[in-house]
Amino acid sequence: VCAQVCRRPCYCPWLPPRCPRGSPLVLDGCGCCKICARRLGEPCDFLHVCDQSQGLICDYSTASAGTGATCNFEDSEEGCEVNGRVYRDGEVFQPSCKLQCRCLDGGFTCVPLCQEDIRLPTPDCPYPRRVEVPGKCCPEWICETRDPHLRRDAGAVSPSLPYACQEWGTEWSACSATCGVGFSTRVSNQNRYCRLETQRRLCTARPCPALPAAPLVVS
């Protein structure tokens, strides 16, 4: 195969190709020209090699069925792809400084790394607000001085409140279920009485794997 495909000397483009995110430049199967490594599930052959840094090989097991070879894990373990990068099953990774995730059965679950603490108004800090701080990953609480010239339309005015409500709340928490439907929570004062309350909403991390069918017993 090598003698039929590989030609000497090499004739390569002057400029190497621009690869998609997560696909590094590698030498082709002839060791001649630089190409973009194929990623998980992409077609491959002798020339178009898979990304070995991610543990991928060109799997020819489906070639006999007429679908062609594809890049797959060498040990046939399931993995997950996030932002163009492939992670092995069970691998823990951080897609951002605020999240820590784990690859599991072809999907992934994440937990927040920033604390979802709540700061209530106090006499010395009547208007606490959570803000992004330059150079820091997690937001922090600050004591905001309310502008006396604040316009009435700057906040939501409830019919039952004689003053403008300065809305604030925490970020939504991670989903309570690792698969299927769960719920996430947050604390917010975005209600008609401008009171702190715990709010919930439905969420889905990933679909649950299908259960194997029970064997039919004939008596």
Write out the DSSP string of 92-154.
EEEEETTEEEEEETTEEEEEE-S-------BTTBSSEEEE--TT-SS-EEEEPPPPTT--GGG
Mean pLDDT of 204-213: 70
Per-residue confidence (pLDDT) for residue 200, from 0 to 100: 81
Per-residue confidence (pLDDT) for residue 127, from 0 to 100: 81
In tens, the pLDDT along 17-65 reads 899 888 899 999 998 899 999 988 889 998 899 998 888 888 887 666 5
Peptide bond into 126 cis (omega under 30): no
> Which residues are within 8 A (CB) of 33 and not within 5 positions of it... i.e. 6 or more apart?
10, 12, 13, 27
Say which CATH architecture domain 168-207 belongs to: Single Sheet (2.20)
Residue range(s) occupied by CATH 2.10.70 in the chain? 80-112
Average pLDDT, the chain: 77
**Is 80-112 assigned to CATH 2.40.50?**
no
The segment with the largest mean pLDDT, out of 50-59, 113-122, 171-180, 210-219, is: 50-59
Phi, psi dihedrals of residue 73, rounded to the nearest 5° = -70, 145
Reading the block at residue 23, the tokens are 């696909």
Question: Do residues 187 and 199 lie in contact, with contact meaning Cβ atoms separated by under 8 Å?
Answer: yes
CATH classification (class only), 1-75: few secondary structures
Mean pLDDT of 101-119: 78
**Amino acid found at 86:** V
Per-residue confidence (pLDDT) for residue 36, from 0 to 100: 94
Residue range(s) occupied by CATH 4.10.40 in the chain? 1-75
Residue range(s) occupied by CATH 2.20.100.10 in the chain? 168-207
3-class DSSP assignment, residue 53: helix
